[in-house]
Amino acid sequence: MKRSPDYYHNRKLLKELAYDSTKYRPTIGDIKEWFVILNQQIFGNKLSEFDEIRIGRPRGVHALFLYWPGDKEKGSILVMTKVFSSKKEFVEILAHEMIHLFQHTFNEPLGHGPSFRAWSDNLQLKGLKLYRVA
């Protein structure tokens, strides 16, 4: 299968992410742009966008995936904090929440168990860390 120029550009964007001490404040547009990149590079374009994206204070964590068990018609909401320690941290945490979206979409157990940890190698191949919470 022939890859598009966008595919290679997006792969390069991921590999060039580096930790730095510059605070990163994402916009809704940034979240949507990186969703597309991660969806292509990590998830094989299998995910539909979050139904709603908010930037705010998600209960003392960097991000939160909200859904309604047993009722996919209500959609999904992504809430991300206003500031991250770096752009790479932002991208890694977005990937974390996209794993939960994948779990929800494909009826896998939601959480940080085996179906979550299975993504670690795939993320590492792209130069990303799998963030887990307790």
Concatenated DSSP letters of 83-121: -BS-HHHHHHHHHHHHHHHHHHHTTPPPSSSHHHHTTHH
Q: Can you give the pLDDT at residue 134? A: 46
* Residue range of the domain that includes 105: 5-125
* Burial category of 115 from C-beta neighbours within 10 Å (exposed 0-12, middle 13-18, buried 19 and up): middle
Q: What is the pLDDT of residues 7-66, one digit of tens each?
A: 777 777 777 777 677 899 999 999 999 999 999 999 999 999 999 999 987 666 788 888
Task: Count structural domains, the chain.
Answer: 1
131 inside domain: no
134 inside domain: no
pLDDT at 90 over 70: yes
CA angle 88, 133, 38 (to 5 degrees): 35
91: pLDDT confidence band, cut at 50, 70 and 90?
very high
Q: What is the CATH classification number for the domain harbouring 99?
A: 3.30.2010
59 inside domain: yes
130 inside domain: no
Cβ–Cβ < 8 Å for 84, 23: yes
Q: Can you give the pLDDT at residue 18? A: 72
pLDDT at 68 over 80: no
Closest CA to 41 of 64, 7, 86, 74: 7
109 inside domain: yes
The structure tokens listed for 65 are: 């995936």
132 inside domain: no
117 inside domain: yes
Mean pLDDT taken over the chain:
86
133 inside domain: no
Cβ–Cβ < 8 Å for 78, 54: yes
